[in-house]
Chains A and B, each alone.
Chain A
Amino acid sequence: MASRIYEWLDSRLKLKPVKETLLDEPIPGGASWIYVFGSATLFLFSLQAITGMFLAVYYAPTPDHAYDSIRYIETQVLFGAFVRGLHHWGASAMVVAIGLHMLQVFLYGAYKPPREAMWIVGVLLLLLTMGFAFTGYLLPWDQNAYWATQVGINMVGSVPFVGTFLVKVMRGGDMLGVLTLSRFFAVHVLFLPAGIMVLVALHMFILRRVGPAGPWAGAFERRGKRGDPSMRQAAPEEGSPPGERRAHRSEPFYPRQVFMDAVVMLGVFAVVATLALTIAFPLTDKANPSDHSFIPVPEWYFLFYYQFLKYMEGPILGPIATWVIPALFIGLLLALPFLDPSKDRAPSSRRAVLGLGAFFLAGVFALVGLSLHDLQAMKRTDPAVASGNALYERFGCAGCHRIHGTGGAVGPDLSYVGDNRDRDWLIRHFRDPQSTSPGSIMPKFNLDEQQLSDLTVYMLSLKKRA
């Protein structure tokens, strides 16, 4: 049936050359699992596009309704939490896929001539992806979204001369509010998707015109078994760079590379779907512009930079970190093919560049590690927990109770009290300890309703796993 439909279409649309163009692109050195990251990125982008369209079915981009509409998706819509989870974890997975894709291109020297344009378009795609991450983060309009975006926008303000102006343009005025949300929404769902589709098309166009780089010279012989019938001898291409102008084995894109790409896509989808099903991504409280005590934490992929900013304070180091270094880094990425133009792609002759890359990666991972360490030490607390904690100090509860090794041993250890007691029990207990624990020597503290509630929230926050 399918083949008859194909034949019917083919006799009219002349599909054969199209099919050959799509499927028979030669892969120098043969298909390999190392080439899957570009396809994985494209797959994840498609997943983001699809889930994003569906989220837009319910989402309302105004401060009055944004938070409630997301909460509606989370709690009322069938599979709503799953769809939002796919979009959330899909974004993280896309960052991972892009990182691995860039790493592979970097290691293989695939940015070198004649593929400079493909690399530059790739860097622009990376910037657009970061634009997606930044604009998408504000949309749920919860505390974290609001304050993280506030920080992000303020960083732009450190750019000399035009910083203040840029900040106003991004916000659409003097404050982060209704105009900011609608322009972030428009950029996230209309402008950036249009831009990224054009650049993805350009990226693929260049790939098909220049061809994939394949393994570096000298590595060809090791790839692919001799006599493998799916491999064919490729004639040296006219116009291919001297380093590559040698006969090497190549294999058409279809079926083995397509198969590898498909398997990886399925695997990536399985991972993202599992994360979406198992790890909830709850909203924090609705954005409250007057609550300056909230400490936002960025997504994990910005943590290295977040940590870096902590070390770069002051009137000189600050702006260096907030715009000089990012600008230099983007400039360096864009200029990489011209700074390292030799056509030799073998790692052995590129030690300096690879060393620089390794140094950068080591730095990033070290900063992520430090940041995670700091975050664990400084638990993010909501104001109620903080004020409950303050009450615990003020009333000298630590005289009898112990939390994580600090305090007396007269009363029960409270390190994980949140796992054992519920809200009602705790409130009754604080009102009258003997009512819930007959024979307890705990005195009755005269707490008002607010204090009761805060102390209870603090107790409930003491859990083995937050």
Chain B
Amino acid sequence: MRGDAMEKSGDQAPDGARRSFFAWLIMASAGLIGISLAVPLGGYVVSPALKRREKSWVDAGPVADLPLGEPTQRDLVMTLADGYREIAAAKGIWALRRETNEVTVYSPICTHLGCGYRWDGAEKKFKCPCHGSMFDIEGKVVGGPAPRPLDRLPVKIENGRLMVKYEEFKSGTKEQVEI
């Protein structure tokens, strides 16, 4: 509030200038306290939202045990920081070992609305039970409402063991957006 505004409403003060000076000082004190509180408290509430999830390579077992050309589910057991607790989480990723001994790993979450899908060995398709999305062995959409192919996860092979970095992506979008 500006001083002149206060002056107008300050109908009781015999000396308007002094009264509005006091009004200005009162507002300034209140404003100073308010800002000094609002900034830290805002940061305090928002800060965990800005933190990025820490990702590390997780051991998904020996590569040699994966059948050639047939997607197989492997459990990725990892420790996740959940605020002030650490929780053990198991994510059932889909791993596909190729003739070249390269491995492709798909995120286990359907790109449509986030359900878990299964590999149908007879039809050679990944099928999502929720809304009927279907993907071929390369992850391409071959049916249903899924907006984009299956998400691939970063992979490397160390000493014959499959190492995977677990990531999550927004479901329902055409583009792949990491969350």
Chain B residue contacts of A33, Cβ below 8 A: none
A105 to chain B, nearest CB (A): 25
Q: Given A6-B9, A71-B84, do A79 and B26 touch, yes or no (CB 8 Å)?
A: no
- B100 in the interface, Cβ–Cβ < 8 Å? no
A57 to B26, CA, bound (A): 31
4 closest Cβ contacts across the A-B interface? Answer: A78-B47, A72-B84, A255-B22, A79-B40
B44 touches A252 (CB 8 A): no
- B26-49 CB mask vs A (1 if < 8 Å, else 0) is 100110110011001101111110
The interface residues of chain A, by DSSP majority, are classed as helix
- B14: which A residues are within 8 A, CB to CB? 229-230
Q: Is the Cβ of B19 less than 8 Å from the Cβ of A262?
A: no
Known: A65-B85, A68-B85, A262-B26. A57 touches B8 (CB 8 A): no
Q: Do the beta carbons of B5 and A78 come within 8 Å of each other?
A: no
B residues whose Cβ falls under 8 Å from a Cβ of A: 1-2, 5, 8-10, 12-15, 18-19, 22-23, 25-26, 29-30, 32-33, 36-37, 40-41, 43-48, 83-85
A contacts, CB < 8 Å to B:
1-3, 6, 24, 50, 54, 57-58, 60, 65, 68-69, 71-72, 76-80, 82-83, 229-230, 252, 255-256, 258-259, 262-263, 265-266, 269, 273
| A83 x B22 contact (CB < 8 A) | no
| Contact between A262 and B30, CB atoms less than 8 A apart | yes
CB–CB B37/A266 < 8 A: no
- Contact between chains at A2 and B2 (CB < 8 Å): yes
* A71, B33: Cα distance in complex, Å: 27
Of the residues B22, B40, B48, B84, contact of A68 by C-beta under 8 Å: B84
Nearest CB of chain A from residue B48's CB, rounded to whole Å: 7
By the criterion CB–CB under 8 Å, are B2 and A252 in contact?
Answer: no
Max chain B C-beta neighbours (<10 A), residue from A68, A78, A256:
A78
B83 in contact with A83 (CB, 8 Å):
no
Whole-angstrom CA separation of A460 from B45 in the bound complex: 37
Q: Contacts A259-B26, A262-B26, A266-B32 hold; do A54 and B44 have CB atoms under 8 A apart?
A: yes
On whether the beta carbons of B26 and A78 are closer than 8 Å, the reply is no
| Chain A residue contacts of B18, Cβ below 8 A | 230
Asked whether, in the complex, the Cβ of B44 is within 8 Å of the Cβ of A78, the reply is yes
